[in-house]
Each structure stands twice: as structure tokens, then as C-alpha cells.
Chain A
Amino acid sequence: MTELRSAPHERLGLSVESIMLNVVLALLPIALFSIWLYGLSALVLLLTSVIVCLATERLFNHLSGQSSTLGDWSAMITGILLALVLPPSFPLWMTAVAAVAAMGLGKILFGGLGMNVFNPALVGRAFVQAAFPSAIATWVPSYAPNRFHEFIPTTLTPPLMIPPDITAWTKAVSADAFTGATPLAMWKFQHQLTAPEDLILGIATASVGETSAMLILVCGLYLALRGMLDWRIPVGMMGSAIALAYAFHLYNPDFFPPPFFVLLSGGLMLGALFMATDMATSPVTPLAVWVYAILIGLVTVLIRYFGGLSEGVMYAILFGNALAPLLDRSLPTRVFGRRKARKVAS
């Protein structure tokens, strides 16, 4: 039976909670696949990250006398995303530090959901990148034979202590010559290219959740089709990264890798689909979104090619986040029915 109602007519019933819940659902396959690749260590890493993120948010809720904001699922998303961008061998106590930094520094101090300037998960990762540079650059091979029975030796490092050396362990568990470097680092420092099928299927060395480019793409596509992420951001970011990489590759094919490598390696996919698209930290107006996305793609490639680090997605997105409010203000939408947006009296 039809019912007469006055405007606004809410058609989809989308709310913050339902969108966030769908993001969590879209992240689940990626998380499960990472557990399949790295076993117990990835599982406890995910659990630690999520639990500490939720607990930090709840604690700050309590301290500031608010009611709980855990119900909006956003702390859960931060927890999962943070775990996905850390290396699988990352010690749990450092994961907890990263989670507290992500929620406290990245989100709550700014005023909670919607007020934060930077993507909280990336703030957490940037913090531990600066605090523990050696632990965050320790990589382990996927498909270790005993991965469902035993932890990676560094996972259970006692709090505040240096993680043990795992060179002997990685040698024992990996069949072929494992170099302990990500595909990007291998290209940058040893000039070796990883096969594209390894990157697509997730065999290559990487952070917990950035291994399989294909899976990330499928999960992102689900959100994009449901209208829960702005398709302009991944398209602009990947497009500009490919374009710049292609230009460099044409200029010097011996030195610069082909564009597919730039697209599939490292965290570009995960960053483009799940990090840069964070609604609170990306611009709103269509033109600003395009500029934002293209800028992140370009900065990523520039950092990868000419920076000191082999991976640039994290800093590129944080850089884009910092510019987002300015982009929104300087590239407003045209007001309907007017030729030129009238200057706002200051």
C-alpha cells in the first residue's frame, strides 16, 4: 500500500552505520585471505588491532562523558585497515601502540568520527613507521608450512622489547630464495621486477592485507556499485599513477618499471579503494575529488621513484587528506541557476 509522505524522500535508507557496516563486510574477504596467507600471526594481529582500537575509543568516550560511539562501526574499520597495512610479522605490542595512536591521535583528539583531518589507520601506521622503523620493514614469506600451528617468532615479542631476529626462521620456512624485501623494495634497491601474476594473486611479500590486488579490487567494486564509495577517487588515483608511470617508462624503459607494476605492487590498490575514499577525510565537491585523487596518485609515484622509502601511498594519502578541506573551499560546485558562484562576503 502506498503512503503519502512529505519531502525529503529517503529512498535507500543509507545511514552512517549501514555504510560503515558494508565497508566492514567488504574488508572481511581481504582479512580472511590474509589469515589464509599468514596464519595465526595475521589472525592475532587483526584481533589486537581491532580490540585496541575499540577499547581506545570506548575509553575516550568514557573520559569525555559521551555515550559509546562504538555502534557506528568506524572504530572497527580503523582497526581492520590498520592491521591490513602492517607487516605480518609486526609484534603485537607495537600493533597496540599503533592502534592507540590511530584512534587517539588520528581521530578522537580531532573530535571523533567526521571531524578527523587524517585517515586514522594511516596516522597509526605513520606513527609506528617513525617509532619502529626496523620492525615495520621486516617481511616474512606467505604460505609458511606451519602457519596455522605456530606464530611468526616476532609476533609475541614481550612489550617494550626489541623483536628477535627472524632471518633463520624465514630461511627455514621458505622453499625458494626469500629475499625479505617487498616487490617495490626489490625494484628500488636491487632492480628486480616481480611477476605480475604473483602480485595479482597475492604471492608477493607485502603487508598483511595488500597482497592480492584482484581481491581488493573485487571488494572495492562491491562498495562502488552500492554507491558507498566515490568511484572518482580510485579511478583518478590509479589513472594518474598509471599515466605518470607510463610517461616515465617511455622516457627510460630500462630504469623505470612498466605501469602495471606500479598499479599492482605495494598498497596502491588498498589505498585507492579503502583509504583515500574515507568519507571524513576526502573532499566533497566533484572537481575537488578529482584533483585530490590525481594528486595522491602522482605523489605516490614520485615518492616511490625519487623518495628515500620504497612505498609512498601512505604519505601521499596523508598529504591529500591535509589538502582536502582547502580543495573543497577553492573548488566549490556551481550554484544551480547561476552563471558564476557569487563571492561570499567575508
Chain B
Amino acid sequence: MKPGEHPLTAFENFMEGIWKQNPVFVMVLGMCPTLAVTVSAINALGMGVATTFVLVFSCLLVSAIRNWVPKEVRIATYIVIIASFVTVVDYAIQALSLDLYEALGAFIQLIVVNCIILGRAEAHASKHPPLTAVVNALGMGIGFTIGLFALGSVREIFGAGSLFGIALFGPSFQPWIVMLLPPGGFFVLGAWLLLFAGWKQRKEAKDGA
């Protein structure tokens, strides 16, 4: 924290990840799952919840043991902690919904290397007490889920004419194949980033005036 800045309240801490530091729209982190699994709303939501779970519990543990971990081996320690929770999530999704497990594929295991989680552990959890760390991680997780859902829902509506598998336009809807392909992921992400950047610029112009 820079001198002169007042400490964040719990609510501000929570909102940090949802709005000001949104992992997808502001920090543009974790692009690998963001672009790869967001072909449908349910996949996006599943991925978001799985990541949130790993994020919250890893940050809790990292924060709890922050005073005992030697500085030199901290990254390795974080990775072991994150990998343990990813394994838990991996088996949990397999048990709950095999369809979702197959749709997400290797990207569940790849949560281990998601830069949001390691980034939060390093930048926030290792410097704050457990409660603050968990609140911040929860906000980040929800922010990430919102980001994924924003992409997944748009891509599903255009690419399949449905939302959560429910057809919106009837049986003769012409799917936009490109939206389900990788370029579609980039187009939709770009459009959202454009929207947020434009909104931010407008707000700053208003605040400045």
C-alpha cells in the first residue's frame, strides 16, 4: 500500500476483483481458459466456479502459512497448494457432471497454471491475514466467473442460438459457426474489452470535467 492511502474496507476489498481489477476485463489475465472453454454459458460458469473454489482455498492456505514459508521456496509452495485444490476440483467435477468434465477437458488441470491464482497468492494472500485474503479471492473469483460468463453467453447465443442449452430462436436458427471457433473467442473478448475501455474513458472524462 502506498503511504497516504487508507486501507480498503472489507466491501471495497471484495469489489476489487469484480469491478476495478476484474481479472478478465481489466487485468486481462487467465486468457487461456477464457478463450478456450467459453463456447457455452454452462461451460463458462463451471470453469468460473471451479477456478473460484481453487482461488479461495489456495489464498486461505497461503495466507495462513505466510509467516512460516521461506522466501526462496514460496512459489513452489504455492504451486503445491494450488495443485492440491485443483485435484480436488478435478475429481469433484468428474463426480458431479461427467458432461461438464468432458467439455472442459484439460483446462481443469490447467487451473494450476492460471496466472490469476498464482498472481493473487503472490501479490495479495502472502501479505494479508486470512480473512482479508479470502474476501479478496472471492471477489476475484466472482469477477473471473462474470468475465467468463459474459463471453460464454454471447458465444452460445450466436453460435448455437441458445442459452444454458435452451433454444432462444426456434429450430430454424442459423448458427454462426465462427463464434464457436477460436476467432469467435477473440472477437467477443475484443468487443467486451472495447466496451469496458469506452465506458471507462467516458467516466474519466466526466470525472475530469
Contact = CB atoms under 8 A, between A and B. Distances in A.
Contact of B187 (A105, A132, A135, A161): A105
B173 A132 contact: no
A127 B184 CA distance: 10
A161 B177 contact: no
Contacts of A135: 174
Interface in B159-199: 161, 169, 172-174, 176-179, 181, 183, 187
Contacts of A127: 178
Contact of A133 (B172, B177, B179): B177
**Interface range on chain B (Cβ under 8 Å from partner):** 10 to 19
B190 to A, nearest CB: 8
Contacts of B173: 160-162
A280 B120 CA distance: 45
A164 B173 CA distance: 11
A132 B181 contact: no
B172 A132 contact: no
A94 B161 CA distance: 15
Given A105-B187, A160-B169, A130 B174 contact: no
Nearest to A64: B198
A131 B178 contact: yes
A327 B181 CA distance: 30
Interface in B86-142: none
A163 interface: yes
A162 B174 contact: yes
B178 A160 contact: no
A131 B174 CA distance: 9
Contacts of A131: 176-179
A162 B178 CA distance: 15
A309 B173 CA distance: 25
A162 B183 contact: no
Given A105-B187, A130-B183, A161 B172 contact: yes
Given A130-B181, A160-B161, A160-B174, 20 more contacts: A94-B174, A127-B178, A130-B177, A130-B178, A130-B183, A131-B178, A131-B179, A132-B176, A132-B177, A133-B177, A135-B174, A157-B174, A160-B173, A161-B169, A161-B173, A161-B174, A162-B172, A162-B173, A162-B174, A163-B174
15 contacts: A94-B174, A130-B177, A130-B181, A130-B183, A131-B176, A131-B179, A132-B174, A132-B177, A157-B174, A160-B169, A161-B169, A161-B172, A162-B172, A162-B173, A162-B174
